[in-house]
Structure 1
Amino acid sequence: MRYRAWRVIVFLLALVPLSLWSYQAWILALGADPGKTLVDRFGLAALSFLLITLAMTPLQRLTGWGGWVAVRRQLGLWCFTYACLHITGYAVFLLGLDIQQLLIDFAKRPYIFVGALAFLGLLTLALTSNRFSMRRLGRRWKMLHRLVYVTLCLVLLHMLWVVRSDLGEWLIYALIGGGLLLLRVPWLPARLFSRSIVVMTKKLQ
């Protein structure tokens, strides 16, 4: 299998945050509210993996190396995994599996509803990321997987509501996400590439 070693490396790197945070939880090194800390970290990990997944295609176009796209599905599934941990942590650590309180949060806290919509988007993408779905859906598969762009916007909106008192960190993720979305505009990557070639040529003259 091509890129087997690369896939293994990516898998092991994706395990690092989970392993580190599990160890910190074991030694009680997650602060005064370890449950909330884990929920926040799992959420940021899910967003980070979503952005990394979206960066694979631009990196492949820039470098011509197929290894980036080869691990795109794996990274997307890691994004979904951390999103599942984020939601599970919220339900267990913050709500104590209180379904009634969850319904109250849905009604009173819009960011919970937006987060749920984002999770449904990730769930749809994860369930249809296999080759069977690609064959079954045909051309509709690419259209369906454009849902990732909507999902990214929902995740960023969810995070904005959560950290609205401190927008510095959110702005970093939003700028990266916005840049990756702009690279999906068909003419933009080619124009940026041509401009960079022109600038480099002028510097060499």
Structure 2
Amino acid sequence: MPFLYLLLGAIQNTLGADPAKELALETGRWTLRFLLMSLAITPMRELMGLTGAAPLRRTLGLFALFYASLHFVVYVVFLLELRWFEVGDDILERPYITVGFVSFLILAAMGATSPKRMVRLMGRRWKPLHRLVYVAAILGVLHLTWILRTDVFDAVFYGTLLVLLLGYRLVQYFRRQARRSNRAGASSVSSQ
């Protein structure tokens, strides 16, 4: 639906005074929204018992990749006007483009390795690669913050959501570590 809304806005010329900039901002925002929704699946599943939501994580992640790809296309086609030689210069010279591009590459790698066949093929290497989603999300929020500069409400909002989601995962990680430590301590005491 967001894609159709943006497409209709572009066709009807209702995207404001600078349609290219609006398209770039909106595709970037939708990338972050879908990325954060995919990260919210695990806490929702664990806190609310929504076990059927797990398959949505991949779908939402692929939507994030779709909008990130649109974001990149809008940037190259409408903002750079297909001056391909400037893409590399922008990536190397502008930090906000660099972090956005790195985030895009992470999402592309995750998208390429999301089919079940690739999961089997990669084995244990799959999970560490897909944990880079946290890095992609952090870089995405940083990218948005640099782009918006003064009107940072969106960046603060998405950043806050990301901190909450990552904080939840961090708490869960430390709880698992504490349980492992307690089990290891209990088993060493029982073996004596």
| Common fold by TM > 0.5 | yes
**Aligned pair 1:71/2:56, yes or no?**
yes
- Greater shift, 111-120 or 66-75, is seen at 66-75
Cα deviation 1:37-70 (Å, max 9, x = unaligned): 1111000000110000000111111222222112
Match of 2:143 among 129, 150, 158: 158
TM-score, length-scaled by structure 1: 0.80
Give the Cα–Cα distance (whole angstroms) in 2 for the partners of residues 95 and 18 of structure 1: 21
Q: Tell me how far 1:135 sits from its aligned partner.
A: 1.2
* Residue of structure 2 in register with 1:25 after alignment: 10
Give the Cα–Cα distance (whole angstroms) in 2 for the partners of residues 32 and 174 of structure 1: 28
- Greater shift, 48-57 or 30-39, is seen at 30-39
Matches within 5 A, 1:94-109: 94-109=79-94
* Letter in structure 2 aligned against 1:172: F
Structure 1's unaligned 5+ residue stretches are 1-15, 191-205
- Greater shift, 70-79 or 133-142, is seen at 133-142
**Aligned pair 1:111/2:90, yes or no?**
no
Cα RMSD (Å):
1.6
* Residue of structure 2 in register with 1:167 after alignment: 152
Give the Cα–Cα distance (whole angstroms) in 1 for the partners of residues 37 and 161 of structure 2: 10
Give the Cα–Cα distance (whole angstroms) in 1 for the partners of residues 16 and 100 of structure 2: 25
CA distance 1:89–1:143, shift in 2 (3 Å): same
CA distance 1:35–1:187, shift in 2 (3 Å): closer
8 Å contact from structure 1 (residues 46, 79) kept in 2: yes
CA distance 1:23–1:111, shift in 2 (3 Å): same
Give the Cα–Cα distance (whole angstroms) in 2 for the partners of residues 185 and 135 of structure 1: 27
Count of equivalent residues:
175
Matches within 5 A, 1:194-205: none
Give the Cα–Cα distance (whole angstroms) in 2 for the partners of residues 172 and 110 of structure 1: 22
Give the Cα–Cα distance (whole angstroms) in 2 for the partners of residues 179 and 116 of structure 1: 24
* Letter in structure 2 aligned against 1:18: F
Structure 2's unaligned 5+ residue stretches are 176-192
8 Å contact from structure 2 (residues 106, 136) kept in 1: yes
* Letter in structure 2 aligned against 1:114: V
Q: Tell me how far 1:144 sits from its aligned partner.
A: 1.6
SS for the counterpart of 2:15 is coil
* Residue of structure 2 in register with 1:126 after alignment: 111
Q: Tell me how far 1:22 sits from its aligned partner.
A: 1.0
SS for the counterpart of 2:169 is coil
Match of 1:182 among 167, 173, 177: 167
TM-score, length-scaled by structure 2: 0.85
8 Å contact from structure 1 (residues 183, 189) kept in 2: no
8 Å contact from structure 2 (residues 91, 101) kept in 1: no
Give the Cα–Cα distance (whole angstroms) in 2 for the partners of residues 152 and 167 of structure 1: 16
**Aligned pair 1:139/2:119, yes or no?**
no
Q: Tell me how far 1:114 sits from its aligned partner.
A: 1.1
